[in-house]
């Protein structure tokens, strides 16, 4: 196990240093699917036509598909992994009880599924350009050897017939979730794996992140008339469906018979989710240039929380659009379903029975994934921190600036505290780790969500928050629909700030080095105050040192880090800033002479903004007695 993980780290280190190119090629998919659901057996059959365009410079001799639902079978890799994590004690509660590392939603539940409760996806036939192909199912991955290769810059047509059984809900997908939603249909169809400039990504479904090919989806779902459907895409036949999709005042004419066929189209997305329930309440809210849809099961709580959520979305969007860029589709659906919150293109499945603030928080988090998972769509398995971390950062800002009681606070304190807890736990791993291969859920979770958010907030400390914010816009403009990697992101920030940041990426992503700067000594010489700052950690950083004198003056002493080759702009024009010579990281300490006797100094503080993730702040501040 350890050896395998070592290899994975080496592969990832290589990928982080790959060069940036904004004209990066993308494979392209065009799916046409027609599925028919038997709600009495929870099975469905499907026909899938896939036009696959190889825009790469490479000849492809085989292709891979995801068969995610095969994970919900006893003995699957997901089952094995969950049970192994259940043996690791990661913390203790106040009574001394050990908290085990497994996901409370999964635990050993997969091992107990009966044949009628498991999930599966069985490929019944597969042809390429009309010729029958042979394939092999390896757990959640379908390996297809091609009889003729796919040449660069060419399109082939795959025709597949498949049969699936909807699992009892364990994780994300499935039937009868804990809040009673009938069908949460994510990862529900055989899906072509992504091939990019880092190669194929046939990542077995163990637990976590996703990665897909952009393209156009045309999906027809035939199901019992009683069900209301929600999902990715635009409904093409609202007047044959009704259920709140029809334009107000339009007459709905449903076909005779037991079933209805729902026809959705979704342009330029990398996945397609849907959910169904016989009792969905459906409301809509016009927001800017798109319509937000809300699907929930009405009860005493949701009767007030979900309409209130709908009313909160326009203000949230005004903030999001200004800071992170515009939402590019005409529709987004907040859908009660799944087992927490999970993002998909143009839709999310979220738990819906909680209190208002929890509902708002999860809704904003999942919706922000439309930017970092939907549009920017870094390979989440390789760079989960660029998806979950950036999403967390944007979520915290959006919530913090739209809820009155939170305005004016620093919104990232929680992320820093989680990161510090992980450092203390001893379970920390470099965030270059593949999402599925972390030793613990604890390290994966904090690294991806919290350290990823710290990465961005601390970057604001290094290059200035205004540069970081402008860089986020530039990242959105230059890289959406192009699957950027970590190197691409830091290049954007280098261009925006004019500073060298390779070292920051290296230390933050590929190591578990820790920042710890300390006020080492303060003394008076020749009527001036001499301050020595020591690098007590092993991660170099530029230094902001705030000096306050007893007569009420404030001075910011700024020491750039030599390998930045430049200074961040003054972030606060109301405080005088003195820029010192750069600190060469090879030098263990740095000496500043203040133009005042020690008796006049009131206080000294390294990074009063606390954006630098200094693991020991007890040595950062000195106050005169
Ligand atoms: Zn997330």
Q: What share of the chain has pLDDT > 70, as a percent?
A: 96
Has residue 97 got a pLDDT over 90?
Answer: yes
Dihedral in degrees, nearest 10, Cα atoms 276, 279, 285, 290 = 10
Token pair in block for residue 5 = 């993980």
- The stretches of 17-161 forming alpha helices (DSSP H) are 77-85
Residue at token pair 């009860």: 299
Distance (Å) from CA 398 to ligand 1 centroid: 14
* Residue 75 vs residues 4, 79, 118: alpha-carbon distances, Å: 20, 6, 11
Has residue 165 got a pLDDT over 70?
Answer: yes
pLDDT tens-place string over residues 46-67 = 999 999 999 999 999 999 999 9
Instruction: State the DSSP H helix or E strand holding residue 36, giving kind and residue range, or none if neither.
Output: strand 28-38
Token pair in block for residue 366 = 């999942």
Distance (Å) from CA 369 to ligand 1 centroid: 7
Distance (Å) from CA 123 to ligand 1 centroid: 31
- Alpha carbons 512 and 8: distance in angstroms, whole number: 16
Has residue 147 got a pLDDT over 70?
Answer: yes
Distance (Å) from CA 222 to ligand 1 centroid: 31
Has residue 11 got a pLDDT over 60?
Answer: no
Over the Cα atoms of the chain, what is R_g? 27
Distance (Å) from CA 150 to ligand 1 centroid: 35
User: Which of the four pLDDT bands, split at 50, 70 and 90, describes residue 45?
Assistant: very high
Residue at token pair 């990074």: 607
Distance (Å) from CA 373 to ligand 1 centroid: 9
pLDDT tens-place string over residues 504-543 = 999 999 999 999 999 999 999 999 999 999 999 999 999 9
pLDDT tens-place string over residues 77-86 = 999 999 999 9
Q: Report, as an integer, the average pLDDT of 114-132.
A: 98
Do 505 and 494 form a contact (C-beta atoms < 8 A)?
no
Work out the burial of residue 598: count CB atoms within 10 Å of its CB; fewer than 13 is exposed, 13-18 middle, 19 or more buried. middle
Has residue 246 got a pLDDT over 60?
Answer: yes
Distance (Å) from CA 295 to ligand 1 centroid: 20
Distance (Å) from CA 511 to ligand 1 centroid: 23
- Sign of the C-alpha dihedral computed for residues 369, 511, 204 and 26 taken in this order: positive
pLDDT at 606: 98
Distance (Å) from CA 204 to ligand 1 centroid: 20
User: Which of the four pLDDT bands, split at 50, 70 and 90, describes residue 615?
Assistant: very high
Dihedral in degrees, nearest 10, Cα atoms 512, 513, 515, 517 = 160
- Alpha carbons 505 and 38: distance in angstroms, whole number: 50
Has residue 471 got a pLDDT over 50?
Answer: yes
Distance (Å) from CA 392 to ligand 1 centroid: 7
Distance (Å) from CA 233 to ligand 1 centroid: 21
Overall pTM > 0.85: yes
pLDDT at 208: 83
DSSP of 299-332, one letter per residue? -TTHHHHHHHHHHHHHHHHHHHHHHH----SSEE
Distance (Å) from CA 260 to ligand 1 centroid: 33
Q: Report, as an integer, the average pLDDT of 362-377.
A: 97
Distance (Å) from CA 203 to ligand 1 centroid: 19
Distance (Å) from CA 370 to ligand 1 centroid: 10
Distance (Å) from CA 139 to ligand 1 centroid: 25
Has residue 19 got a pLDDT over 80?
Answer: no
Has residue 15 got a pLDDT over 60?
Answer: no
pLDDT tens-place string over residues 196-236 = 999 999 999 998 878 999 999 999 999 999 999 999 999 99
End-to-end Cα spacing for the chain: 55
pLDDT at 281: 98
pLDDT at 7: 42
* Residue 124 vs residues 159, 161, 190: alpha-carbon distances, Å: 11, 5, 11
Q: Report, as an integer, the average pLDDT of 549-578.
A: 97
Distance (Å) from CA 388 to ligand 1 centroid: 5
Do 158 and 52 form a contact (C-beta atoms < 8 A)?
yes
- Alpha carbons 200 and 61: distance in angstroms, whole number: 12
pLDDT at 22: 59
Q: Are strands 331-336 and 347-350 parallel, antiparallel or unpaired?
A: parallel
Distance (Å) from CA 343 to ligand 1 centroid: 7
Distance (Å) from CA 98 to ligand 1 centroid: 27
């Amino acid at each position: 196990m350890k050896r395998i993980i070592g290899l994975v780290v080496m592969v990832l280190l290589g990928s982080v240093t790959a060069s940036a190119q904004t004209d990066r090629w993308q494979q392209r998919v065009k799916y046409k699917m027609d599925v028919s659901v038997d709600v009495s057996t929870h099975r469905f059959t499907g026909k899938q036509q896939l036009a696959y365009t190889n825009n790469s410079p490479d000849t492809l001799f085989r292709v891979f598909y995801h068969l995610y639902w095969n994970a919900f079978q006893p003995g699957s890799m997901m089952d094995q992994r969950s049970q192994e994590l259940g043996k690791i004690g990661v913390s203790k509660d106040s009574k001394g009880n050990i908290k085990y590392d497994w996901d409370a939603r999964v635990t050993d539940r997969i091992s107990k599924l009966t044949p009628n409760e498991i999930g599966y996806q069985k490929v019944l036939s597969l042809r390429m350009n009309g010729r029958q192909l042979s394939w092999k199912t390896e757990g959640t991955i379908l390996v297809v050897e091609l009889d003729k290769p796919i040449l660069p810059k060419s399109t082939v047509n795959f025709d597949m017939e498949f049969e699936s059984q909807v699992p009892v809900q364990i994780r994300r997908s499935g039937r009868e979730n804990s809040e009673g939603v009938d069908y949460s249909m994510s990862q529900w169809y055989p899906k072509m794996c992504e091939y990019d400039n880092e190669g194929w990504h046939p990542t077995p479904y163990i637990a976590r992140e996703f990665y897909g090919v952009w393209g156009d989806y045309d999906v027809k779902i035939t199901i019992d008339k009683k069900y209301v459907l929600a999902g990715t895409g635009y409904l093409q036949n609202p007047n044959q469906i009704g259920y709140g999709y029809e334009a107000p005042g339009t007459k709905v004419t449903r076909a005779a018979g037991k079933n209805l066929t729902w026809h959705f189209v979704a342009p330029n997305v990398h996945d397609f989710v849907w959910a169904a329930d016989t009792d969905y309440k459906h409301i809509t809210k016009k927001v800017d240039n798109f319509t937000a849809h809300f699907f929930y099961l009405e009860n005493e709580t949701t009767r007030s929380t979900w309409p209130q959520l709908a009313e909160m979305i326009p203000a949230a969007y005004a903030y999001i659009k200004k800071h992170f860029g515009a939402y590019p589709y005409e529709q987004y659906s907040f859908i009660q379903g799944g087992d927490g919150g999970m993002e998909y293109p143009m839709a999310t499945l979220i738990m819906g029975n909680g209190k208002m603030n929890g509902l708002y928080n999860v809704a904003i988090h999942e919706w922000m994934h439309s930017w970092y998972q939907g549009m920017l769509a870094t390979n989440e398995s390789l760079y989960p921190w660029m998806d979950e971390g950036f999403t967390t950062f944007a979520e915290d800002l959006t919530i913090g600036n739209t809820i009155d009681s939170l305005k004016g606070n620093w919104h990232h304190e929680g992320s820093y505290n989680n990161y510090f807890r992980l450092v203390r736990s001893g379970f920390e791993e470099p965030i270059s780790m593949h999402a599925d291969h972390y030793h613990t859920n604890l390290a994966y979770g904090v690294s991806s969500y919290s350290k990823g958010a710290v990465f961005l907030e601390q970057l604001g400390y290094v290059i200035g928050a205004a540069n970081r914010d402008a860089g986020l816009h530039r990242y959105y403009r230059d890289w959406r629909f192009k699957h950027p990697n970590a190197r691409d992101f830091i290049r954007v920030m280098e261009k925006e700030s004019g500073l060298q940041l390779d070292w920051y990426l290296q230390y933050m992503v590929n190591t578990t080095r820790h920042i710890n700067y300390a006020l080492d000594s303060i003394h008076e010489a020749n009527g001036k105050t001499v301050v020595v700052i020591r690098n007590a950690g092993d991660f170099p950083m530029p230094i902001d040192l705030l000096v306050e004198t007893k007569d009420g003056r404030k001075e910011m002493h700024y020491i750039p880090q030599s390998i930045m080759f430049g200074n961040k702009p003054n972030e606060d024009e109301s405080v005088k800033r003195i820029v010192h010579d750069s600190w060469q990281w090879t030098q263990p300490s740095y000496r500043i002479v203040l133009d005042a006797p020690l008796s006049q100094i009131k206080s000294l503080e390294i990074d009063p903004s606390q954006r630098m993730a200094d693991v020991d702040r007890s040595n950062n501040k000195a106050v005169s007695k």
